[in-house]
Amino acid sequence: MIDKVFSLCMWAAATVVLCMFSWLIADVLIQGIPALSWEFLSSEPLRSGREGGVLPIIVSTALILVVALGVAVPLGLGGAIWLAEFANKESRLFSVIRMTLDMLAGVPSIVFGLFGYAFFCGFLQLGFSILSGGLTLACMILPILIRTTEAGLAMVPNDWRKAGAALGMRKTTLIIQVLIPYSAPAITAGLLLSIGRATAETAALIFTSGYVDRMPESLSDSGRALSVHIYDLSMNVVGGDKAAYGSALVLIIIVVQINFSANLLSEVWLEKKVARR
Amino acid sequence: MLQRSAMNVLSAVLLAVTLFSLSPTLWAQGNDDNRLVITGSSTVAPLMSEIAKRFERQHPGTRVDVQTGGSSRGIADARSGRADIGMASRAKKSSEFELLFHTVALDGIAIIVNKNNPLNTLTDEQIRLVFTGDIGNWKVLGGSDRAITVVNKAEGRSTLELFLQYMKLKNSEVAASIIIGDNQQGIKTVAGNEHAIGYVSIGAAEFEAGYGTPIKLLPMGGVAASVDSVKNRRFPLARPLNLVTKQDPVGLVKKFIAFAQSDSVHDLITDNYFVAIPAQTVAENGLGGGQAK
């Protein structure tokens, strides 16, 4: 009896989650598809985005993401490897760093936005620019990236490290050839989480990469991200709802696309490594 | 041990290199004389972006970057010099005595009911009670014995903000029957429902009523709801959309403000459902306009 009730509850929970998700997707698809066209993807916004397209906004979004990942991935991998493989786990510094990372991962994005606005735009005088936005996002996703990578590395059985040492492998070789490939799925998951959070970000970007919907010419130009564009169209532009749905659909397609290719890449890479081993 | 300190040195060097490469000298902007940064009110930002694009087309080589973030930020950025021009969707406050406000357009809203509604006027207090749900039937106000359909705007719309501010209401206090997105939707709803009351941008309402849509614009405080009464600043449910500068504008800033106040951007202002002010009125009110009531 109790078993039945329990499994029923679990089924109900799963159904509710699924329904909510499909409702959301269906809503965006139904309202967004009529707005979507080749012209929408390939032209500049007109009349505050009510007409025209989103090309400069897609380009800005991509550039912001490239800057953010370009900075966060090396730093994140490095930080995680240090935490997992080099740091003395009993030391005070280690626990302080871990605690700081957990705290940073939970900080609301608007706080990162204000920090980016004060530090990158103001103190470093980068102004409203794709660079400021990307760097702010990098700060934001760094804690997630480090913690997931670290967790992945921690899953590697300790025997492997000992075996590596016994074989006389350099620590560097061990990390690059054994530990990182083994934890690739975890790293990919962290990367995808970060990308998701970065592309969904509005609050932090309004204050850093800005609102300008012109085609960016360099990283020091201000550029509007898709999330900011959607927010502006639905909140501030009278009659912008249709274009907002179109942009939301574009954003979803981009995120799904990145998800697929990242998963595929990590699988291919992992297979190669495993086969060689 | 030696290895660890070597790594510390290395990471310090890396950090220094990163910070240096980010430093202003390497990323300095080219010609600052041809570049304007405008920040502030999210209500004004879409309009100002369009004005900026037209300005850039007419003055090749210039760049006008419009940023958003709210009126308070526009004021703060104009004050600190982070922006050349701030945007504020409200009149000047007395604490902002040192700043100069340049009115570009006006934003007014009209309370609308169906044309077949027998009532021709409502007091502010009556409207307030209708929107809180304390008055739920037209009979109480002298109309027919029918329930009132309250049409409210979705969160975030500037008209909602202005309406709530004027009526001294919080959005949570409004007992809305229908929540709508834009002006067209509000006008259609009220035109199709004889018992509805709503509010929309005055420009859109007057335009539609003029084309025979069955809606009626209610006067506020004895002043007829029309674009004209907003223009000559007699209509109470209105606010100025301002550009804010710290000093008397010179050079490109002056050029841009003059352009934003000129007749050549009136189509853009109307397209965003705001009320354009004829250039000579701006001159009469002086450049520091916007000091309302």
Domain boundaries, chain A: 36-276
- Provide the token pair at A87: 């740091």
Interchain pair B45, A127: CB under 8 A: no
Who's near A271: CB < 8 A, 6+ residues apart?
A: none
A261: pLDDT strictly greater than 60:
yes
Q: Give the closest residue to B185 by CA, choosing from B204, B202, B171.
A: B204
pTM assigned to the model: 0.79
- Contact residues on chain B for A216, CB-CB shorter than 8 A: none
- Contact residues on chain A for B81, CB-CB shorter than 8 A: none
- Contact residues on chain B for A236, CB-CB shorter than 8 A: 42-43, 45-46, 68, 156, 158
- CB nearest A236 (choices: B43, B53, B271): B43
Q: Over the stretch A145-203, which tens digit does the pLDDT of each residue have?
A: 999 999 999 888 889 889 988 998 888 888 888 888 888 888 888 888 889 889 888 88
Chain B residue with CA closest to A88: the answer is B4
Q: Give the closest residue to B183 by CA, choosing from B206, B194, B199.
A: B199
- Contact residues on chain B for A206, CB-CB shorter than 8 A: 67-69
Say how far apart CA A223 and CA B61 lie, in whole Å: 18
Which residue of B14, B21, B25, B27 is the best one to mutate when testing the A interface, meaning the one whose CB has the most A CBs within 10 A?
B27
Which residue of B67, B185, B200 is the best one to mutate when testing the A interface, meaning the one whose CB has the most A CBs within 10 A?
B67
Interchain pair B69, A207: CB under 8 A: yes
Q: Do domains B2-106+240-284 and B108-231 have the same CATH topology?
A: yes
Instruction: Locate the domains of chain B by residue range.
Output: 2-106+240-284, 108-231
A85: pLDDT strictly greater than 90:
no
Which residue of B11, B19, B65, B184 is the best one to mutate when testing the A interface, meaning the one whose CB has the most A CBs within 10 A?
B65
- Contact residues on chain A for B182, CB-CB shorter than 8 A: 238-239, 241
Chain B residue with CA closest to A240: the answer is B182
pLDDT per position in chain B (293 positions), as tens?
445 555 565 566 556 555 555 544 444 444 467 889 999 888 889 899 999 999 999 998 899 999 988 888 899 989 988 889 999 988 888 888 889 999 999 988 889 999 999 888 899 899 999 999 898 899 888 888 889 999 988 776 677 888 888 888 888 888 888 888 777 788 888 999 999 999 888 888 888 888 888 999 999 888 888 888 888 888 988 889 999 999 888 889 999 999 999 988 999 998 888 888 876 555 444 444 444 43
Mean pLDDT of A232-238: 80
Second CATH level (architecture) for the domain B2-106+240-284: 3-Layer(aba) Sandwich (3.40)
- CB nearest B29 (choices: A120, A220, A238): A220
Which residue of A44, A48, A51 is the best one to mutate when testing the B interface, meaning the one whose CB has the most B CBs within 10 A?
A48
Q: Give the closest residue to A198 by CA, choosing from A129, A144, A128.
A: A144
Question: How many other C-beta atoms lie within 10 A of the C-beta of residue A149?
Answer: 28
Say how far apart CA A218 and CA B74 lie, in whole Å: 25
Predicted confidence at residue B288, as pLDDT, reads: 42
Say how far apart CA A264 and CA A270 lie, in whole Å: 10
Fold observed for domain B108-231: D-Maltodextrin-Binding Protein; domain 2 (3.40.190)
- Provide the token pair at A82: 């240090």
ipTM summary value:
0.78
Give percent helix, percent strand, percent coil of chain B, each to the nearest 5.
Answer: 45, 20, 35
Round the CA-based radius of gyration of chain B to a whole number and report it.
24
Helix (H) or strand (E) holding B102: strand B100-114
Beta bridge partners of B276: B105
Say how far apart CA B115 and CA A112 lie, in whole Å: 51
- For residues B242 and B87, the answer to whether their CB atoms sit within 8 Å is yes
- For residues A149 and A77, the answer to whether their CB atoms sit within 8 Å is yes
Amino acid at B67: Q
Torsion of CA B19, B24, B26, B31, to 10 degrees: 160
Interchain pair A49, B46: CB under 8 A: yes
Predicted confidence at residue B64, as pLDDT, reads: 92
Predicted confidence at residue B14, as pLDDT, reads: 59
Residue bearing tokens 């932090």: A204
Share of chain A above pLDDT 70, in %: 98
* From the candidate CATH numbers 3.40.710.10, 3.40.50.10680, 3.40.50.720, 1.10.3720.10, the one assigned to the domain spanning A36-276: 1.10.3720.10
B97 part of contact set with chain A, CB < 8 Å: no
- Contact residues on chain B for A220, CB-CB shorter than 8 A: 27, 29
